[in-house]
Structure 1
Amino acid sequence: MAPRTRKDARRAEIVRAALEAIAERGYRGASLASVAERVGLTQQGLLHYFPTKDDLLVAVLAERDQWDSAPGSGWRADLLAALVEYNVMRPGVVQTFSALLGESVTEDHPARPYFTLRYTRVRAEMARSLRGEYGERLPSGLTPEQAAPLLVAVMDGLQYQWLLDPEAVDMAEAFRAFLTLLGTEPRTGS
């Protein structure tokens, strides 16, 4: 892996600041000027790193996906359960993702193509991993293609419920209960 350049480090700092601003105000409410101010740049200086607000948004989403991906790990039940538990420790990231996902359902939202492609890829990867682990049928009788969108829906739906009422919704416990329904309980130990 090549060493990080100063420009790479600055871009990473801007992405973190944008994530914070979006978490606080939503995509439409987070201005380039406010992100620039957080990192000690002018808006024009920020545009040197990200020519448009949409470019910055895509960088924020890609960074968030990097945090959630372990290369070669697939989407095994135990890793998904661990990801849900990890998300409990980073409510700002979960809030940003959830806010952007909700906003992206509108036709003109710049993140709509990103989320559409992301969900297509995630469902396919989950189905492939489930097939590798369970074959053509999960213990519940569902096919991997039937289970994959359900896993995504439960993960994202639990995030919304947890963000709205964290005292009432134990996201990690509820996800483990769903895995039990699917017959794909997380493995314990290695």
Structure 2
Amino acid sequence: METFAARGYNKASLAEIADQAGLTQAGVLHYFSSKANLLTSVLELRDESDIEQLGTERPRGLAFLHHLVGTARRNAEREGIVRLYAVLSAESVTADHPAQDYFRDRYAGLRAFVIEALSEACELGEVRDDVGDLDIENTANAIIAVMDGLQVQWLLAPEAVDMAAATDRVISALLADIAARRE
């Protein structure tokens, strides 16, 4: 995780990773068969730690959006994981990157969760229920974009960025904007 976060996929050396793990390169490849499979396993491990925070059920409605604020707060204590995600998600837009499908699927899944939570918030009466699907989709995309952008800013200047407070502020502002458009 540290090597991929510090150097990105292409510059991360399998020899360095093996050395850090106390294995030979052949030993690493025995467990993961390729550097690309190792990368995918590292990314899945990152997701598993976030999923554990949810417990047995995903929070519904605004509770899920509050969970996102909590995730931003926890991320401020996990610089290595945040760096790994920021570096590899940006790097994955390049041609033939081994994590491109992973990130495409991850964004689609996260977008679906946020859209579902916003729809639930409407159904539960937490947000006006006459919100259009396009407003919900655009709001979900904006929330995700802000969270990712805040991570990059925080990595570059942690003393200047409070990811949780900014995420909470943006979610509140977007929800207020949805309400104002319908009035």
TM-score (norm. length: structure 1)? 0.80
2:111 to 119, 123, 140: 123
Which residue of 2 is the match for residue 29 of structure 1?
11
Say which is worse superposed, 48-57 or 136-145, in terms of deviation.
136-145
1:73 to 58, 61, 73: 58
Contact 2:65-2:117 within 8 A present in 1 as well:
no
Q: Does 1:146 pair with 2:138?
A: yes
Contact 1:131-1:137 within 8 A present in 2 as well:
no
Structure 1 residues 138, 105: CA separation in 2 closer, same or farther (over 3 Å shift)?
Answer: farther
Which residue of 2 is the match for residue 94 of structure 1?
82
- Please report how far the alpha carbon of residue 56 of structure 1 lies from its aligned counterpart in structure 2 after TM superposition: 0.5
- Please report how far the alpha carbon of residue 147 of structure 1 lies from its aligned counterpart in structure 2 after TM superposition: 1.6
Which residue of 2 is the match for residue 160 of structure 1?
152
Identical aligned residues as a percent? 42
- Please report how far the alpha carbon of residue 153 of structure 1 lies from its aligned counterpart in structure 2 after TM superposition: 0.6
AA of the residue aligned to 1:121: G
Structure 2 CA distance, aligned partners of 1:58 and 1:177?
A: 33
- List, as ranges, runs of 4+ consecutive aligned residues in structure 1 with deviation greater than 6 Å: none
Q: Does 1:175 pair with 2:167?
A: yes
How many correspondences in the alignment?
166
User: 1:122-171, CA deviations, whole angstroms, 9 ceiling, x for partnerless residues?
Assistant: 11121112211223994595643222111111110110111111122221
AA of the residue aligned to 1:73: R
Give the 3-state SS of the residue equivalent to 1:167 in structure 2.
Answer: helix
Which residue of 2 is the match for residue 108 of structure 1?
96
Structure 1 CA distance, aligned partners of 2:127 and 2:93?
A: 31
RMSD: 2.1
Structure 1 CA distance, aligned partners of 2:22 and 2:140?
A: 43
AA of the residue aligned to 1:43: Q
Give the 3-state SS of the residue equivalent to 2:147 in structure 1.
Answer: helix
Contact 1:23-1:99 within 8 A present in 2 as well:
yes
Structure 2 CA distance, aligned partners of 1:177 and 1:128?
A: 20
In structure 1, stretches of 5+ residues that fail to align are 1-18, 185-190
Structure 2 CA distance, aligned partners of 1:50 and 1:162?
A: 32
Contact 1:127-1:148 within 8 A present in 2 as well:
yes
Structure 2 CA distance, aligned partners of 1:179 and 1:141?
A: 15
User: 1:10-31, CA deviations, whole angstroms, 9 ceiling, x for partnerless residues?
Assistant: xxxxxxxxx0111222211211
